[in-house]
Amino acid sequence: MPTKKQLTCPIPQSDYPKITLAHGGGGLLSNELVDKIFAPVFNDPLLYERHDGARTNVKTGEIAFSTDSHVVKPLFFPGGDIGKLAVCGTVNDIAMCGAKPEFLSVGFILEEGLPMETLWQVVLSMKEAAKSAGVRIVTGDTKVVEHGKGDGIYINTSGIGQIISPTPISPASIQTGDAIILSGDIGRHGVAVMAAREGLQFESHIQSDCAPLNRMIEALFDENIEVRCLRDLTRGGLATALVEIASSSKQSIEVLETTIPVKPEVESACELLGLDPLFVANEGRCIAIVPEKAYDLTINTMKRFACGRGACRIGVIEKTSGSPQATLRTAIGTHRLLSLFSGEQLPRIC
């Protein structure tokens, strides 16, 4: 198992400094990747069985199952990288189902010519993210495509978790008068990735919010909070999540612009780039919809965690008289109808 001092790849650079097509061929070099990188870093007994899949015992009851693919560019950005993102993305999807994530699979698509040291750093990052989330990486796969047919690394992760919510976490559970709680400031991930991709320099160093949210969500259930709906704010950001929830729940939503936290440096960057922070992707933010009477406890519980220290109440579920809609009450008191973004605002952001 790698230690903190083991920061360089154990495969000798003089032998194979870069990924070759043979590393995806199922032979000697494929086995070397597993034996010297994946198995010792992820360090799970099920990986050492070298089976076609992982067999393990799970508790009886409902499970949540999710999958996510990651093609972020660049591979490394302030506050994270594609490895950390791949773990957090699936962990958070499972947590939003009201489940405790337990097991992950990982599929790598590597491009011929990728530096072996780059792969090593990504795998180390995945290990740390999995440790932080308390999940096990128990099975995986690797394929290699020809040089020029990929973009370094693509990663798919799938995960399984045990449902721990006593009631269904769903837009269908929402009721008029429920409070909408946001776990923290928005827009940092998308801006951090875009700045790294385009080589933009801002006065303040903007870091991605990429983080696993599952321990914070589990704490809400430990406090017996009646969580009605959860949604992580990835592609499309906060606005898209609100529009989708309004449509699915057949309930209208109103949020207050003045209560939505956006860091000044993110707001300035969005103005420069022509972006609306409401639609910018986040990778460590979520909304929780809870009964009005539970919003104080929800916020205080979230604030016990680094990913929830900026938690705040941003809006309410309203009685619907016509078509359900999501609206933003602006700082000057006008109402702005939120709608799904047309096109791709920030490609390859996750």
Distance, in Å, from the CA atom of 281 to the CA atom of 346, rounded to the nearest integer, reads: 8
Domain boundaries, the chain: 21-163, 171-338
Distance, in Å, from the CA atom of 327 to the CA atom of 263, rounded to the nearest integer, reads: 22
Over range 75-80, report the average pLDDT.
97
The answer, yes or no, to whether residue 260 has pLDDT greater than 70, is yes
Distance, in Å, from the CA atom of 313 to the CA atom of 218, rounded to the nearest integer, reads: 19
φ, ψ at 196 (rounded to 5°)? -65, -40
Contact yes or no for 221/294 (Cβ under 8 A):
no
Looking at residue 7, its pLDDT comes to 61
Name the residue with higher pLDDT: 133 or 6: 133
Looking at residue 115, its pLDDT comes to 97
Distance, in Å, from the CA atom of 327 to the CA atom of 335, rounded to the nearest integer, reads: 6
Contact yes or no for 109/222 (Cβ under 8 A):
no
Query: Environment class of residue 335 by beta-carbon count within 10 Å: exposed (0-12), middle (13-18) or buried (19+)?
Result: exposed
Over range 284-310, report the average pLDDT.
99
Looking at residue 2, its pLDDT comes to 43
Looking at residue 62, its pLDDT comes to 93
The answer, yes or no, to whether residue 214 has pLDDT greater than 50, is yes
Mean of the per-residue pLDDT values for the chain? 93
Tell me what percent of the residues of the chain surpass a pLDDT of 90.
83
Query: Environment class of residue 129 by beta-carbon count within 10 Å: exposed (0-12), middle (13-18) or buried (19+)?
Result: buried
Cβ atoms within 10 Å of 21's Cβ, excluding its own: 14
1 confidence band (pLDDT: 50, 70, 90): very low
The CATH-assigned architecture of domain 171-338 is Alpha-Beta Complex (3.90)
What does the angle CA 38 – CA 41 – CA 44 come to, to the nearest 5 degrees?
85
- Residue 131 pairs in a beta bridge with none
52 confidence band (pLDDT: 50, 70, 90): confident
Looking at residue 3, its pLDDT comes to 44
Over range 265-271, report the average pLDDT.
94
320 confidence band (pLDDT: 50, 70, 90): confident
Which residue spans within the chain are E strands per DSSP?
A: 63-70, 76-77, 80-81, 99-111, 136-145, 153-163, 179-182, 229-232, 252-256, 286-290, 312-318, 326-329, 335-338
Fold match between domain 21-163 and domain 171-338: no
Question: Which of 138-142, 153-157, 318-322 has the lowest average pLDDT?
Answer: 318-322
φ, ψ at 246 (rounded to 5°)? -60, -45
- Paired tokens of 288: 């929780």
- CATH fold of 21-163: 60s Ribosomal Protein L30; Chain: A; (3.30.1330)
List helix spans (H) across the chain: 28-33, 39-42, 45-48, 82-95, 116-133, 188-198, 214-222, 237-249, 264-273, 295-302
Over range 94-121, report the average pLDDT.
98
The answer, yes or no, to whether residue 180 has pLDDT greater than 80, is yes
Distance, in Å, from the CA atom of 211 to the CA atom of 224, rounded to the nearest integer, reads: 24
List helix spans (H) across 22-77: 28-33, 39-42, 45-48
Contact yes or no for 94/130 (Cβ under 8 A):
no
